[in-house]
Chain A
Amino acid sequence: MTPADCFAKLPALLSDDTDLLRRGRWLNVDCRIDIGSEPFHLTIAQGALAAFDRGPRLMRSTAFTVRATDEAWCNHWKRMPEPGWHDLFALTKRGAASFEGDLRPLLQNLQYFKDLLALPRRLPEAS
């Protein structure tokens, strides 16, 4: 399974996590997450995924984008990630990920996004 295929399971992973949904209940934002070269467009409403679109969308506006390489997501989603791959900022520091756009909603809800983007660790495919 490719990293993008893993991330495609995000809606089910999030709907199973009532604690993360509770913590995100104030959050409404459109954002984009790039898994390697594949973009995902997320519309988050009250912490839940109101829309989740895989692949390019023409002229879709987004508050911010989180990008990382396939290698970075693969390592980040290991059940017990290695040092240097275990946190979004560890990835940006090593140059394997970036944050772009209006970072305010990201920083206002940083723990939510860190936990959201780590959810694929729970997949049976995670090693």
Chain B
Amino acid sequence: MAPALDPMIGRYVRLDIDGTPHRLYFEEAGSGIPLVCLHTAGADSRQFRHLLADPEITSRFRVIAFDMPWHGKSTPPDGWEKTEYRLTTASYTAAIRAFCQALELDRPVVMGCSIGGRIVLNLAIAHAAEFRALVALEAADFQQPWYDTAWLHRPDVHGGEVCAALISGLIAPQSPPVSRHETLWMYMQGGPGIFKGDLYFYRVDGDLREKVKSIDTTVCPLYLLTGEYDFSCTADDTLRTAAQIPGAQVQVMKELGHFPMSENPARFREYILPVLTKIAAARA
């Protein structure tokens, strides 16, 4: 009997980000329009495994999901042990652009979730012409904090377990238990302090209020989709953001939370396929 292989293939790419050598892990499947997927804070590219295995998507898109520096199977930069990881708008933007350039992607679509969604807004603000379309999941220009991130990295609290337990409430109660727990598992596996370091971008450095008004969707179409059970980036946060951006297309996703692509892949598919079809049609 032939082995039951998933269709995606994983590789490592060597590249410099802001002058620092990195070795990033990515998975890809399909051919056509490049579609780069950005995972949530403290997680990794496995969140997109269902998109990478969906023939209706991979028949039209080259789906590529990479692990951010310090995440998943990407090797942290030399000397990581002497630094405290802290993501910023500049370092995140640089990593995405460096990855797209290293893979020689021609005006890719970028779809990001949570911090990935927030940085997509920054790509729309600062680098729109480099992209074919931008898809921001669970994204807003700003969100009200709902816990103290100091709890995420301290010796008397298990980092993986507290990260997973905190974000567990952002998953919709309708999501299948298997997918819920797979999503939590990825959070349990993050490096120490990495989720916290990602949230520096989210909470301190990545405030895009006012800036989103400069987004020009005639240069690059922008789609925003947010799950109704996401109380971190609420539907109102996303709707408020979209209202400031002429031409932005926004949708609230029923029975989904903060991790639509991994917490309930079948339900998310109902929402993302029409968006991807529009993007593919625009190319044609």
Contacts and interface: CB of A to CB of B under 8 A. Distances in A.
Interface of A: 80-81, 83-84, 86-90, 92-94, 103-104, 107-108, 110-111, 114
B246 interface: no
B148 to A, nearest CB: 9
A110 B169 CA distance: 11
Interface residues of B, number: 23
Contacts of B174: 80
Given A104-B157, A107-B151, A114-B169, A89 B231 contact: yes
Contacts of A84: 231, 234
Interface in B196-246: 228-229, 231, 234-235
Contacts of B235: 83
Secondary structure of the A side of the interface?
helix
B164 interface: yes
A87 to B, nearest CB: 3
Contacts of B147: 89
Secondary structure of the B side of the interface?
loop
Given A83-B229, A87-B231, A108 B169 contact: no
Nearest to A94: B231
A68 B223 CA distance: 37
Contact of B166 (A80, A86, A94, A110): A110
B268 to A, nearest CB: 16
Interface in B156-198: 156-158, 161-162, 164-166, 168-170, 172-174
A108 B156 contact: yes
Given A107-B157, A108-B157, A90 B169 contact: yes
Nearest to A79: B173
14 contacts: A83-B228, A83-B231, A86-B173, A87-B168, A90-B231, A104-B157, A107-B162, A108-B157, A108-B158, A110-B162, A110-B165, A111-B165, A111-B168, A114-B169
